[in-house]
Amino acid sequence: MRRLFRKGERVRNKLDGKVMEVLRYIKSNVVEVKWFDLDAKEVRTNTVKEDKLSKAA
């Protein structure tokens, strides 16, 4: 299984540009990420496919 990101790395979502942090790999290409929602002022978690993410600068 090829993993592009490590746990704790900052990644950018290619669809909406949000910067997220990698929590863990769920399947071979599915990553659980967390980010801070500015509108609600809370931390959100979601699962995203690995090919929809890129490394954050």
- Own/partner pairs for 34-40, CB < 8 Å, 24+ apart? none
Q: What is the pLDDT of residue 3?
A: 86
Q: How confident is the model at residue 19 (pLDDT cuts 50, 70, 90)?
A: very high
Q: Is the pLDDT of residue 1 over 90?
A: no
Q: Is the pLDDT of residue 12 over 90?
A: yes
What is the value of pTM for the model shown?
Answer: 0.84
Average pLDDT over residues 23-33: 93
Q: How confident is the model at residue 27 (pLDDT cuts 50, 70, 90)?
A: confident
